[in-house]
Amino acid sequence: MSEIEIDGRLLQRWLRTDAAQPGQLVGCALDDGDCDDPLTIIEVDTTRQAIVCAGDKARVRVAFARLPDCLLIAPAGHAVVVAVQACVSPQEQAHQRMKAELGELYPKPFATVEDLEAVHAAEMARREGKLPERALRGPWVRALKRNDLHRQGADLAQAWRQQANALGAPWSDIALHLAWFQRHAGHPNRAIETVRDFLLSKAAASQTEIAMLATVEAASWIDRFERKGGAPPDLVEARRAAARAYAINTTDPEIKAVYDRLRAAQER
pLDDT exceeds cutoff 70 at 182: yes
Contact between 138 and 121 (Cβ < 8 Å): no
Domain limits, the chain: 3-88
Q: Provide the pLDDT confidence category of residue 122 given band limits of 50, 70 and 90.
A: very high
Q: What is the pLDDT of residue 266?
A: 84
Q: List helix spans (H) across 72-149.
A: 79-85, 90-102, 113-127, 134-146
C-alpha–C-alpha distance, residues 120 and 116, integer Å? 6
C-alpha–C-alpha distance, residues 56 and 178, integer Å? 51
For a pLDDT cut of 70, what percent of the chain falls above it? 100
C-alpha–C-alpha distance, residues 219 and 12, integer Å? 47
Least confident of 59-63, 107-111, 213-217, 251-255: 107-111
Q: What is the pLDDT of residue 88?
A: 78
Q: What is the pLDDT of residue 228?
A: 76
Mean pLDDT of 13-42: 91
How many other CB atoms are there within 10 angstroms of residue 170's CB atom?
Answer: 13
Least confident of 35-44, 85-94, 234-243: 85-94
User: What single-letter DSSP state applies at residue 222?
Assistant: H
Q: What is the pLDDT of residue 85?
A: 83
Q: Provide the pLDDT confidence category of residue 33 given band limits of 50, 70 and 90.
A: confident
C-alpha–C-alpha distance, residues 30 and 82, integer Å? 17
Q: What is the pLDDT of residue 156?
A: 98
Q: To the nearest 10°, report the CA torsion of 175, 180, 185, 190.
A: 50
pLDDT exceeds cutoff 90 at 237: yes
Residues 253-265: tens digit of each pLDDT? 999 999 999 999 9
Mean pLDDT of 134-150: 98
Neighbour-count burial of 22, counting CB atoms closer than 10 A to its CB (0-12 exposed, 13-18 middle, 19+ buried): middle
Contact between 17 and 87 (Cβ < 8 Å): yes
C-alpha distance from residue 124 to each of 65, 120, 141, 218 (Å): 36, 6, 14, 33
Contact between 74 and 85 (Cβ < 8 Å): no
Name the pTM for this structure.
0.75
pLDDT exceeds cutoff 80 at 39: yes
pLDDT exceeds cutoff 80 at 190: yes
Mean pLDDT of 196-201: 98
pLDDT exceeds cutoff 90 at 55: no
pLDDT exceeds cutoff 70 at 1: no
Q: What is the pLDDT of residue 2?
A: 85
pLDDT exceeds cutoff 80 at 126: yes
Question: Taking the CA of residue 124 as centre, how many other CA atoms within 13 Å lie in the half-sphere pointing to its CB?
Answer: 11
C-alpha–C-alpha distance, residues 158 and 174, integer Å? 8
Q: What is the pLDDT of residue 230?
A: 77
Contact between 37 and 98 (Cβ < 8 Å): no
Residues in CB range of 103: below 8 A, 6 or more apart = none
The mean pLDDT value of the chain amounts to 94
Neighbour-count burial of 192, counting CB atoms closer than 10 A to its CB (0-12 exposed, 13-18 middle, 19+ buried): buried
